[in-house]
Amino acid sequence: MHKTIAVFGTSGAIGHALAEEALKHHDSCDLIAISRSPCKPLGVREGQSVSYLSGFDLISEEAVVSAVDAIFERGNPDLVLIATGVLHGEGVTPERRMRELDPDALSQMLAINLIGPAMILKHLLTRLPRKHSCRIGVLSARVGSTSDNRLGGWYSYRASKAGLNQLIKTAAIELGRSNPQAVLVGLHPGTVDSDLSAPFQASVPKGRLFSPDHSAHLLMDVLLSLKPSQSGLCFDWAGKEVAP
């Protein structure tokens, strides 16, 4: 059956790898790759088509609406992956102590890691036809788990991902009322060899630094295997539930 697929964040390493993995799993599909900057071309086979939407501004609701419009122009989405996010960057670094908290950096972290995905889900889910089955995976992180927090630090990032996990849970409850066969989950990719993790890779245990392709392969297998009863939860790359 022909599928409509959307991937947000395809200019990033894990987002691009997830788009490639989606194409491997679906012989007949239209995929729209949505990114802030132009992404590398994706491998397309016969029966597949890829559209590229670059210049996407995650924190602009107008841009989100335009991107969702572009998705539905191709059909009702069957698979959506939201692979956006930030851990560090210009003016943003993970805090080790509370004294390092900066309101501007905190606002930026929340805008990108929480508010952006929230707006995508808002405009995506409210347009899904009733009873349409759709799988939606949102990149989250284990550090968003309050029960797993034993080291402290990384205040802004932890808070943004904890909020994202709560958003996913709440949205999944609402989605389940109109689309009982749909699945909406958070996905923890592990530590992926990318620009996001580069400054922190020295502390990663041997064998736990994944290539983007390997992580994407594992995450796709997890997402496609989940049941509607598991919607709203967060799962890691091994298919294990990440406790709230």
Instruction: Write out the two tokens for 160.
Output: 């943004």
Bridge partners of 3, per DSSP, are 29
Q: What's the confidence (pLDDT) of residue 65?
A: 99
Q: What is the pLDDT of residues 130-164, one digit of tens each?
A: 999 999 999 999 999 999 999 999 999 999 999 99
Q: How many CB atoms lie within 10 A of CB 111?
A: 14
Is-contact 166 144, C-beta < 8 A?
no
Question: How far is the CA of 75 from the CAs of 10, 29, 70, 167, in angstroms?
Answer: 20, 10, 9, 25
Instruction: Decide the pairing of beta strands 29-34 and 48-53.
Output: parallel
Counting Cβ atoms within 10 Å, is residue 184 exposed (0-12), middle (13-18) or buried (19+)? buried
- Specify the CATH superfamily of domain 3-236: NAD(P)-binding Rossmann-like Domain (3.40.50.720)
Mean residue pLDDT of the chain comes to 94
Residues contacting residue 122 through CB under 8 Å, at least 6 positions apart: 64
Residues contacting residue 98 through CB under 8 Å, at least 6 positions apart: 155
Is-contact 196 12, C-beta < 8 A?
yes
Q: What's the rounded Cα separation, in Å, for the pair 168 and 170?
A: 6
Query: What is the C-alpha R_g of the chain?
Result: 17
Percentage of the chain modeled with pLDDT above 70: 93
Residue 18 has pLDDT above 70, yes or no: yes
What does pTM read for this prediction?
0.94
Band of pLDDT at residue 233, cut at 50, 70 and 90? very high
Among 183, 47, 68, which residue's Cα sits nearest to residue 117? 68
Cα dihedral sign for 209, 35, 199, 92? negative
Q: What's the confidence (pLDDT) of residue 92?
A: 77
